[in-house]
Amino acid sequence: AWALARRVPERPELDRVWRRLLDEARRGAGQLSAAAFPAVAHGVFAATRAHGGSTDGLASRLRITLAVARGRI
């Protein structure tokens, strides 16, 4: 889902497919082991990337921390 999110700004027709994949990925993320964390962490930023936003800096690290604290990943 995160790789597809990078293409959404230039190809808006992919938005519906991307949103469906992201929803499915988020539902399954809680069942993955800790070893899968690096791959799952990219899902936190998928929506930001799909809208052309930046995922660098302190704000991104805070989002990862909050996602872990809330049990989303």
Instruction: Dump pLDDT digits (tens) for 18-70.
Output: 888 878 877 777 777 777 777 777 777 777 777 777 777 788 788 778 877 87
Block residue for tokens 């790789």: 3
Q: State yes or no: pLDDT of 12 exceeds 80.
A: yes
Residue identified by tokens 């293409």 is 7
Q: Which helix (H) or strand (E) holds 63?
A: helix 58-69
Report d(CA 66, CA 60) in Å as an integer.
10
**Which among 63, 46, 41 is positioned nearest to 8, based on CA atoms?**
46
* Contacting residues for 17 by C-beta, under 8 A, at least 6 apart: 4
